[in-house]
Amino acid sequence: MKRIISLILITVILSAVTLTACGSHDSAVGFWIIQKVTAEDVVMSEEDAKSFGLTAVGSLKLQKSGICQLNLLGEEYSGTWKRAGDGTITVKIDEEMTLTGSVDDDGVMQLTDPQGTEYILSK
């Protein structure tokens, strides 16, 4: 009987730990496709990129570790990212480029650089 109670207790504890770990997952983590980039009056969509022979405008991979990889018009960049308590996401690429933004309720990420260029991404 003690063994059964011990097994039940272990199962309950492991379930609680698993639920806690799953609940802390950041929805920003993952692979994002850049759908559109807007710089002043110039807009580049996925269709525009294909007309240049590219498969997409680019992508952004955010890892749970805080590391990220950005592919923009076929060029690869590495950097770091974090999410603040208010939900703001900051992506720093090679200490030269910083993007800030958020993910909306529909799961669309919007990032902007200091020059005002806007990036729209989706998973």
Residue 20 within a domain: no
- What is the three-class DSSP state of 32? strand
User: Which domain does 32 fall in, by range?
Assistant: 27-122
pLDDT of residue 49: 81
pLDDT of residue 116: 94
Cβ proximity of 28 and 122 under 8 Å: no
Q: Could you tell me the pLDDT band of residue 59, with boundaries at 50, 70 and 90?
A: very high
Residue 65 within a domain: yes
pLDDT of residue 47: 84
Residue 97 within a domain: yes
d(CA 6, CA 3): 5
Q: What does the longest C-alpha to C-alpha distance in the chain come to?
A: 73
- The tokens for 109 are 């990420």
Share of the chain above pLDDT 70, in %: 80
Q: Is 61 exposed, middle or buried (CB count within 10 Å of its CB: 0-12, 13-18, 19+)?
A: middle
Residue 83 within a domain: yes
Q: Could you tell me the pLDDT band of residue 1, with boundaries at 50, 70 and 90?
A: very low
Give pLDDT tens digits for 13-41. 333 333 334 444 789 999 999 999 999 98
Kindly report the CA angle at 123 between 96 and 86, in degrees rounded to 5? 60
Q: Report the chain's mean pLDDT, rounded to a whole number.
A: 82
User: 20 or 45, which is more confident?
Assistant: 45
Cβ proximity of 75 and 60 under 8 Å: no
pLDDT of residue 19: 36
Residue 74 within a domain: yes
State the amino acid at position 14 in one-letter form: L
Number of structural domains in the chain: 1
Residue 93 within a domain: yes
pLDDT of residue 11: 37
CATH number of the CATH domain containing 38: 2.40.128.270
Residue 96 within a domain: yes
Residue 16 within a domain: no
Q: 46: part of which helix (H) or strand (E)?
A: helix 46-51
